[in-house]
Structure 1
Amino acid sequence: MSDPLSPVSLRRMNKLIQLSEKEQPVKVVKNPFLPTRLLDVQASCPSGLRLVITETDPDVCKLDASQRQYAALSYCGGSGDAALKQLKTTRNVLQMHLAEVPLEKAPETVADSIRVCRALGLRYLWVDALCILQGDREDWSKESFQMSNIYENSYLTLCVVQGDSCSSGFLRKDHNPPNVRVKFQSKLDGSISGNITLRMLHPPPATLRRCTKGFGKYSRIDDEPGNSDLESASWGKRGWTFQEDQLAPRKVFFGNLMFHVSRGSKLEAADSSTVEHFRFIDTMGSLQQGLKTWYNMIIDYSERVLSFEQDKFPAIAALARHFSERFEGQRYIAGLWESDIHKGLLWTLTSEWKEFDEYQRLVPKEYTAPSWSWARRPLRLDWVLIGDENPKSELIRSCCLGSS
């Protein structure tokens, strides 16, 4: 199933999405949440694509609650020219995009996600670069606060786990299967000789991918395509994609080998193979268990990469909001929780460095977090007390003072 949009692939994908929906039913409420803006991928304009303001758009307003579904895109925007040149919505072009978004100018990953939505019959799509006003701090502040709602309430999240920028795309694969040419000569008739080319028709096992030039990025010794696709992906190493993966109830992952659909605590691939892929937030029971889960999430998150260290808190703000809504009365303080601050402060670094000066150079010069917060250190973390120990403490006062 190398083409995700072939009739066979689409039937398989739709079946897996339906099974996923049974396991994670869509919440039908009177006024379902919709992001402020969405892309209408079935618009009547020439490109078939335009931006809509959901609160006032007539087509959106006439939909009943069960029809107000949208997909969200989770991808690596990339750095450098690809990210800078990406098609964006700004104040200056907002009115133009409300009339029509030029599809031919969209980066390949965004264009491919639009093709997927059209093939699946999903009319609306949320893409951060086009649905949040770029360069507008007020709009960014407002929309980033809604990030938990955007992913939690999406009908489907498209996770592009191949490629490392918005220009990579994920539908058109130029990869040629590994092949080897073998010389032969007939033992029955010496005049018969030539070359035989052997080519793989199916994804090779990981042990072979490790020693094949075309698959040099893979490191897992595992036969399952899901592990190969996810373990090697830049997407899984980026800070922003962490909360998107955690919050989205239904996901389709587009990997180098094939697509995979989330089903409970596992991913099921196009070829029916499965791998474990659980969400931390599904392990939150009591407050005590929730706090333990929070620390485990931060340990995982601390291994991920952010283009800007100032995004350390914004990139998990949606998870913090989810936690505070689940456990009412919990006060969030610089990546920790007031009721458990005595344990939260006992973080330790597991990364190694040779000299203290080397460690100091890793600490961002610009202000990112209080010195006592784990977020101040761009290194892998662990906690001294993360088990069932429950020492008591009383917080007298907490405050954050800006640096001069």
Structure 2
Amino acid sequence: MEKTHMALVPELQLMGDDAHQLGRSQELHGRVVRDMVDLELLRRWIGLCERTHGAECAEPWWAPTEKWDLPSAARLLDVSDMALVPARRNIRYIALSYVWGNVAEGANTAYWTTKENLTQRKAPGGVSLDILPTTITDAILLTRLLGERHLWIDALCIAQNDPADKAVNIGAMDAVYRRAVLTVFSAGGSSAHAPLPGLRPGTRVSSQHIAEVQGLRFAVPLPASREALARTTWNSRGWTYQELMLSPRRLLFTPSQVIFECNKCVWGEDLVAELPDGECPTHRLETGVVGRLMFAQKPAQWLRNTDIWVGDYLHSVESYAARRLTNEGDAVDAFSALTSAVAKAYGLAGGDPGRAFRYGMAVTELETAMLWQPVVGVRAERREVVGRDGEVRAMFPSWAFTGWRSPVRYEGEDQFVVFGSGGSSPRIGESLVDVWHMVDDGGRLNILDVRKVDRVVVDPAWGKLSYMIPKWDKSWQTPSNVQLAPGTLVFKTLVASLLVTEVQDGPGVTGEHHSLFSIASDEHDLGIIGRIILPNHQPSHQQMDFAVTGRSYGTHNATWATNVDASTTYAGFLLYVIAMHPTDSMGVSERAGLGVVFEKAWYRVNAEAKVVMLR
């Protein structure tokens, strides 16, 4: 029988120790939360999951269980010998997810493993407890108390000043968290110096309110994991998102209580929910789960061969982009373990993460992935770095969400009718680019594995119009005076110069940092033919270049898109267009915004087939 989630959380819960007075068992009743966590309870949760849930929580369906996929460079901390040891095949270990805190110049980083101290740390006693911050020493203590011997901690198990070592180990982080017998999440502080709440005396003050009514004790339920973590620093950090999503078993040390989540059950200190047979009855803690992997449940084989994962991917991008990074250069790496897992799970680009995702963007669904918009109430700024020559350069390309320091959202065409309206995710009804290319790190132009989408609906009013997709000229070469940066998208499509004008009338057309602009053309008295969301500082009444990327999924009828005599409303298909700012005189551009135009009007503007170089 399929589980259902409770819509309401009880305001009071009867304590389990008093349940017998009403002829009830303790299950699904309250439990007293002490100042220190009951370690026996934690061991019971872990053991119950391991004994009764089997492969569902130990071997995710998408994992290559037949192959040990941790690299030879992977290390673990032996908490008995206090030494770094190789992560040999099938070794049991716990992983730690925590907040590093300030790692700016001058910050205490003496506890990091480096190329210089790596050899020393491989010897027994080579890792000194004296220099480790509190979060890490508590994690070591917890590992010992749980009867485990090995612990994975990024700052200790990866040589932080060795780019090669970091690349290999970061590239395997999906396997690191997936193969851990348990991941401990330290969500009680803002740095690595915060304790695990409740592990040691004085590190947690119980916030549980218990009152006696007619001889029975009742408690106000403590927050479930989602609510408990909502305002924590841990929940705002970029790296912690994929660590949460990829861990089959999660032990969350929240400020109010410890909560255990696995792929089947949720158990917490303040509620007796663990049953001897490992079954998972519906209860209030399940409504607040934070760590359910987007593909935790194995889909049918035929679904794995479709784009069923795309919606979850778009949601993950939104969730991840809303978080912050101490080092902006980590924007791709801090999302790469999750994209790697998705590529392997669904066999994207042959299961090769490097071909399936670039800069956090799903290459196989590139036309959809590019439909992101900045959140209207937040300033969108490029992620930039100052080079040794003093010049400021973008870290990542403008067409990728990782190229911007801003949360993003994916919304359907309705956002251009009612600004910031939300709604369903955007969908591509037909691909309008023949071939997509990208410049690799060696300066070569490579063809991307973008899935082609054929038209799935027909406009009855289409008539004899037929969109001719400009074909890629295989003889095209990069202009001799242009040096394309890695990550530059190169494709051929129709490009038109159109006028953008800020929309002045109507509800909800202006936000704090972004506004709704009309796209207009004076050709053939077409008037307003579309809309686009642009930053507020974008000058109104300015010509911009627009490149078509795809056709929307269905037909539309919009009263805002009228011709100059205001007597006709455009209807039919919308085309997605990217507004571009030139970056130099050689034809290279950057993304300025994403909008839509009506296809019937697009046919009448002076659009030309051009090769777009989008950096």
Tell me if TM exceeds 0.5: yes
Alignment of 1:338-377 (within 5 A): 338-352=363-377, 359=379, 362-366=381-385, 367-377=394-404
Counterpart in the other structure of 2:316: 297
Counterpart in the other structure of 2:85: 52
* Native 8 Å contact 1:246 1:281 kept in 2: no
Secondary structure of the residue aligned to 1:343 is helix
Q: Which has the higher strand share?
A: 2
How far did 1:74 drift? 0.4
1:115 aligned onto 2:167: no
Matched residue type, 1:248 = S
Q: Residues 390, 265 of structure 1: CA spacing in aligned structure 2 closer, same or farther, 3 A cutoff? A: farther
How far did 1:304 drift? 0.3
1:260 aligned onto 2:285: no
How far did 1:389 drift? 4.1
1:187-219 Cα distance to aligned partner (Å, 9 max, x none):
xxxxxxxxxxxxxx65249xxxxxxxxxxxxxx
1:318-352 Cα distance to aligned partner (Å, 9 max, x none):
11111111122433233222332222211111232
Q: Residues 236, 299 of structure 1: CA spacing in aligned structure 2 closer, same or farther, 3 A cutoff? A: same
Counterpart in the other structure of 2:435: 396
Q: Residues 279, 83 of structure 1: CA spacing in aligned structure 2 closer, same or farther, 3 A cutoff? A: farther
Counterpart in the other structure of 2:560: none
How far did 1:134 drift? 1.3
Matched residue type, 2:200 = R
Matched residue type, 2:285 = T
Q: Residues 226, 347 of structure 1: CA spacing in aligned structure 2 closer, same or farther, 3 A cutoff? A: closer
Counterpart in the other structure of 2:407: 380
Counterpart in the other structure of 2:202: 174
Uncovered stretches (5+) of structure 1, i.e. residues with no partner: 44-48, 56-60, 178-200, 206-220, 354-358
* Native 8 Å contact 2:411 2:426 kept in 1: no
Partners of 2:255 and 2:143 in 1: how far apart? 19
1:229-287 Cα distance to aligned partner (Å, 9 max, x none):
31222111100000000001101011122211003366321122624313223268433
Partners of 2:407 and 2:168 in 1: how far apart? 30
Partners of 1:333 and 1:395 in 2: how far apart? 19
Partners of 1:76 and 1:176 in 2: how far apart? 18
Counterpart in the other structure of 1:208: none
1:22-76 Cα distance to aligned partner (Å, 9 max, x none):
3334249676455621111122xxxxx1111235xxxxx8xxx4xx210000000
Counterpart in the other structure of 1:180: none
Q: Residues 95, 227 of structure 1: CA spacing in aligned structure 2 closer, same or farther, 3 A cutoff? A: same
How far did 1:156 drift? 0.5
Counterpart in the other structure of 1:155: 181
How far did 1:80 drift? 4.3
1:280 aligned onto 2:280: no
Counterpart in the other structure of 1:306: 325
1:71 aligned onto 2:94: yes
More moved, 368-377 vs 75-84: 75-84
* Native 8 Å contact 2:395 2:403 kept in 1: yes
Partners of 2:360 and 2:367 in 1: how far apart? 13
Q: Residues 3, 32 of structure 1: CA spacing in aligned structure 2 closer, same or farther, 3 A cutoff? A: farther
Q: Residues 289, 396 of structure 1: CA spacing in aligned structure 2 closer, same or farther, 3 A cutoff? A: same
1:10 aligned onto 2:39: yes
Q: Residues 139, 304 of structure 1: CA spacing in aligned structure 2 closer, same or farther, 3 A cutoff? A: same
How far did 1:106 drift? 1.2
TM-score between the two structures when normalised by the length of structure 2: 0.51
Matched residue type, 1:377 = W
Partners of 2:426 and 2:384 in 1: how far apart? 36
More moved, 344-353 vs 18-27: 18-27
1:172-200 Cα distance to aligned partner (Å, 9 max, x none):
353685xxxxxxxxxxxxxxxxxxxxxxx
Secondary structure of the residue aligned to 1:281 is coil
Matched residue type, 2:254 = G
* Native 8 Å contact 1:33 1:153 kept in 2: no
Uncovered stretches (5+) of structure 2, i.e. residues with no partner: 1-32, 211-219, 272-283, 350-355, 386-393, 413-423, 440-483, 487-583, 585-615
Matched residue type, 1:51 = L
Partners of 2:110 and 2:35 in 1: how far apart? 25
How far did 1:402 drift? 1.8
1:110-161 Cα distance to aligned partner (Å, 9 max, x none):
0000111101111100000110011111100111101111001111101001
* Native 8 Å contact 2:222 2:270 kept in 1: no
Counterpart in the other structure of 1:20: 49
Number of residue equivalences: 342
* Native 8 Å contact 1:338 1:395 kept in 2: no
* Native 8 Å contact 2:35 2:204 kept in 1: no
Partners of 1:227 and 1:389 in 2: how far apart? 29
Partners of 1:378 and 1:204 in 2: how far apart? 41
1:343-364 Cα distance to aligned partner (Å, 9 max, x none):
22111112325xxxxx46x323
Counterpart in the other structure of 1:90: 114
More moved, 341-350 vs 248-257: 341-350
* Native 8 Å contact 2:70 2:172 kept in 1: no
Partners of 2:65 and 2:348 in 1: how far apart? 25
Secondary structure of the residue aligned to 2:85 is strand
Over the aligned positions, Cα root-mean-square deviation in angstroms equals: 2.9
Between the two structures, name the one with larger relative contact order (CA 8 Å, sep ≥ 6): 1
Partners of 1:12 and 1:339 in 2: how far apart? 45
Matched residue type, 1:398 = H
Secondary structure of the residue aligned to 2:200 is coil
Alignment of 1:136-285 (within 5 A): 136-170=162-196, 171-172=199-200, 174=202, 203-204=208-209, 223-264=222-263, 267-272=266-271, 274-275=285-286, 276-277=288-289, 278-282=292-296, 285=299
